[in-house]
Structures are given as structure tokens and as C-alpha cells.
Chains A and B, each alone.
Chain A
Amino acid sequence: MIKDSRQGASDCFVVVETENPATTRSVGACFAQILMKNDVVALDGDLGAGKTCFVGGVAKALGISGRVTSPTFTLVTEHPIPRSLDTDGEVLLAGESRRDRDQPNALYHFDAYRLPCSKAFSDIGLMEYFTAGGVCFIEWAERIRALLPSRTLFIRLERLVNNSILEDEPCLVDGSIVLPSDDQRRRLTFAGKATRINAFKAALERHNIGVVQDGCS
């Protein structure tokens, strides 16, 4: 791999930990502040890791009022970002704004969970969204890794406690197995170009969200 010598092009990462879905959404809101038109964001993590929850936090911070639900069924959900007001108070259509030319006009929320291979993703024409002027969040992005552009920002969500590796026997009450509620803590790892990760770290700092680990390769 040829490395770009410019600092802005080298790959960096930052790790944060969240206590519950609400704090995962707050980190999403922070992440929303660094988004630019045509960003592609790859989200990976097990079922129930909090991918949809994170995107919900991003969407709210972008001013999207509709609810963000799992796009597994539809493969892609489109959320237009509301029109912005310019200084004269004149309402401009998304994409028409003079001041916000680099602001995304929509959040496109994908889910590659059901796709058998990356070819299915491109066959359906979903890659057209990557340059449609919005921001693309792709759940289960590892299934379409080969299609992701080099500018992609990567987010991995993991449980801090792995519930599945329980040596104990299940908890029995009155003969029923009682399943525990999911441990809500998550570790979120963000990776991408240094300029973007640094911008995100600055946003985290502004919101007093602590960084567990960071670095550059």
C-alpha cells in the first residue's frame, strides 16, 4: 500500500466507551459535527451492538426529526436533512444553500446484513448514494468492504462485557430460564484519515467525552 506522506491522509483511530444507549447517541451527535458531504461511514458490530442507536444520535444532531429505525428490511432508508435558513431568513432548498455548500443534504442509512456479497450491493445501484451529496452510514459494512471508497470512516461497536461467554449455568426461576438484560456498555472505535479523526477528537473534547485510547499508524 502506498502511503500518502501528507499528514492528513495517514490513518488514525480513537476509542471511546459509553455507558448506555443514551451516551452512545451523544457520541453520535458529536460525530455528526465533523460530517461532510459525500462522507461514507462503515459501521460494524454484532447484532444488538448499537449500530442503529448510534446512527439515531447522528440523525438527531443533523436536525432529522423522523425516527431512525433498523434499515435491515428496506436495505436503505433515506432521511433528508432539513432545509437551512440563510441570513435573510429565506428558506433554501437542501443543496441550494450558498453558505452550506459542503453540508450534506441527506443521511442515507444502509444495512448490508441480508446481502450475500458486495456484488449484490453494487448490482442494486446502492453505490450511487456515495456521491449523491449526503452522508452514507452503512451497517454490516464489512460485507461490502471491497466497495468502500478510500475516504471511508470506520466505526466498530463492541460490547464491553461479552455476554455470550458465560461459564455459569443459566439463571432459573420457578423452572424458567431468565435471560439477563443486555449489558449496556459499549466500546466504540473510530478510524480514518488523521484530519477527520482529529476533528472528531476536538468535538469529543468540546462535549467533555473522554477518549480511552488514540493513535496513528
Chain B
Amino acid sequence: MYILGIESSCDETAAAVIKDGREIYSNIIASQIDIHKVYGGVVPEIASRHHLDGILPVIYESLSEADITLADLDGIAVTFAPGLVGALLVGVASAKGLALATGLPLYPVHHIAAHIAASFLLDQAPQTPFISLVVSGGHSHIIRVVSMTEYEILGSTRDDAAGEAFDKVARAVGLGYPGGPLIDQASTGGNPRAIRFPETDFGDGNFDYSFSGVKTAALNYLNQMEQYRSRKPELYEKYFNLADFCASFQFAITHALTRQLMEAAAAYPSEDIILAGGVAANRSLRTALEAACMETGRRFICPPPQLCTDNAAMVGALGYQLAIAGVEPATGRLDAIANLPIDIWAKNLKYLS
């Protein structure tokens, strides 16, 4: 079964052809990251315009690289929620047009579920049920995946997403955008224990995240260092080292992510742990989770970085899962939705048809 996946929820315009939900025939991405660097993040209107320019060439290229035609396809899967409405609309409208013209079934994909489905593209696919940690610029979720059409949110962020904390602190320390990879890079050789950040713990039985406290502590520290630099340069020399700061900040975020995830997963001791989303490309997070999983004797699965950041292969992979689960294809009424929790999406799949 060949599925064409289409993704345009944020700054990547992407299309991919996936065979049987496992095999990547093509995976084309037109990234706008250089365009949005100027703004320190995605600007929706600019993103929409670039999606519009990029979507059809990207779809053509995905078909030609896979060496198949529209007639060979068995379905189309498109990300319709959550994300920037203007950006999502470009993918949704294109997918609806294609589905209408070809008569192919159209599967409405949830962006976070697609990130989770990326792990099905690995040689060792996970077995449901499993526990996933989805971390990106806009999301930090611990989700128990009962099946690819049934999800349980065990914890999520109460304030800032992990990627957002990286972006804001990277901007404050003058590293630029995107914050995660730049802080990761700048932390090389730094001592992760040089600075200890306050930890937020909501207490027993609650696996929510809060990155606001770590972010604020980091910014307060940077302000203080800035004042030292102008008034007491000897103290600035003594207490500020960029690599140490980045390594310690990264450690604080990684530690919080790992701790909450492992605590949430403790009730399901035999289930695999899946790491997904853009921040999953972060080396220290991968290392920490790998170690935590090994310690508890669990299987740890994390797609390679190119399948962690936004792409359409994961959309095609999820489209296949929806198709074999018997989800009714969406109709022409399908519309982009900015805000839609994954569990609500799954429960309402039948209403999208």
C-alpha cells in the first residue's frame, strides 16, 4: 500500500511516499529555517506564502523520486492539526484537491501522532502499547500510545515547551535560532554541573512539565553576568563560561524531561520508550534517556534526527496505520485546526469522515 504524506504545519513544506507504513520511497523537505532565522522563529504569514510556493514542487518531486504516479497511490495522508492555521491550510487544501481529483482516500493526520509514528519507519518498530515523549518547539508531551488510534496524555507542559525554553535562552545568550542545536553545539566541552538550576516538581502522581522556572533562573543569571561584565569584570571572568552555561542549562532541561518521563512510565514497566519530535535530535537528551532505559531494562527507540524534525515520511507512516485500523477517510469538509489535543483527535476520527 502506497501512501502520499503531506506536511506543512510549521516551517517545513514536505511530501513523502511510504510503502506499507514502513518503507520510505521518497522523503522531500523544503525548509524555511534560513528565512525565519531573521525573526528568531517562524512567522506564520511568511511561512504560508512559502508553503504555497513549495507544496506542488515538493509533491511532484516526492512522486518522481519514488518513481510512481498518482495512479499507483492507495491513499493520501495530510497533517491538518495542530499548528499554524495558515500553514496547515496549504497542505490540507492541496491534499483535498488531490484526493478529489484522484478519488483516493484522504487520512487526517495529527502532527504529534505523526511524530510518534516516525518510529515505525525504523527497522525495529515499536509494539503498542508504548510510552512516548514528544518534544519540539511547540510541544512537550508524555503520551501513552495504546494503539495508533488511541492515546493517553500522561503529562504535558504547563507553561513553555522545552524547545521554546531553548530558543529563548539561546536568544538571550546571543546564539540565535534555532536554540536547541545551537546550545547543544555550544555546550561541547562544558561542565553540565557547573550551574545548578532550580527544579520544578508538581508532586506525586503528576507528570506535567514546567520550564518557566529554569528559563527564568537562566535569564536572571545572565542579567547578573551582564552587570558583572560592565561593573566587575573579574567576577564575570570567574563566573561566566559559555560552554559551562549551555551544558548546565541543557542538563537541567534534559534531567527534567527524563525524570518525569521515567516516573510516568513506571506504571507500565514492560512498555517501550519512544522519543520523538524536533528536540529529540538533542544529543544529551538521547544519551540521558538511553541510559535511563538501560537502567530499567526497557527498549529505547528514537528515530534518526532527520525523522525527528518535521517531515512527511512520518505523516505517510501514520496514514498507513489509520488505513489499516479502518479509519474512515476524511471528506471535502476537512479543515485545518490550530489547537487539537491528540486524544481528542483520536476519539473524533470518525467525525472527520
Contacts and interface: CB of A to CB of B under 8 A. Distances in A.
B217 A179 contact: yes
Interface of B: 38-45, 83-84, 137-138, 156-161, 163-164, 167-168, 172, 193-198, 212-213, 215-221, 223-224, 227, 235, 239, 338-339, 341
Interface in A54-89: 66-67, 69-70, 72-75, 77-79
A211 interface: no
A94 to B, nearest CB: 15
Contacts of B84: 74-75
Given A169-B235, A176-B193, A176-B196, A67 B168 contact: no
A127 to B, nearest CB: 12
A213 interface: no
Nearest to A47: B219
A124 B45 contact: yes
B224 to A, nearest CB: 5
A77 B161 CA distance: 14
B195 A164 contact: no
A212 B32 CA distance: 49
A208 interface: no
Given A69-B161, A73-B41, A120-B43, A177 B195 contact: yes
Contact of B338 (A48, A78, A124, A179): A78
A101 B218 CA distance: 45
22 contacts: A47-B168, A47-B172, A47-B216, A48-B216, A66-B339, A67-B156, A69-B159, A69-B161, A70-B164, A73-B41, A73-B161, A73-B164, A74-B83, A74-B138, A78-B339, A115-B43, A120-B39, A123-B45, A164-B223, A166-B224, A176-B196, A182-B217
A52 interface: yes
Interface in A1-59: 46-48, 52-53
B217 A180 contact: yes
A124 B44 CA distance: 7
B338 A74 contact: yes
Given A47-B168, A78-B338, A170-B239, A177 B196 contact: yes
Interface residues of A, number: 38
Interface of B is mostly: mixed
Contacts of B163: 73
Nearest to B239: A170
Contact of A69 (B40, B157, B213): B157
A180 B160 contact: no
A182 B194 contact: no
Given A73-B41, A179-B217, 15 more contacts: A69-B161, A72-B164, A72-B168, A74-B83, A75-B84, A78-B339, A114-B41, A115-B39, A115-B43, A116-B39, A120-B39, A165-B227, A177-B194, A179-B198, A182-B198
A181 B200 CA distance: 10
A18 to B, nearest CB: 16
For the complex of A and B, the 7 pairs showing the least CB-CB separation, nearest first, are A48-B216, A164-B223, A73-B138, A181-B198, A124-B45, A163-B220, A179-B217
A163 B40 CA distance: 26
B224 A164 contact: yes
Contacts of B220: 48, 163-164, 179-180, 182
A120 B36 CA distance: 13
Contacts of B158: 67, 69
Contacts of A47: 168, 172, 215-216, 219
Contacts of B156: 67
Contacts of B138: 73-74
A106 to B, nearest CB: 11
A129 to B, nearest CB: 12
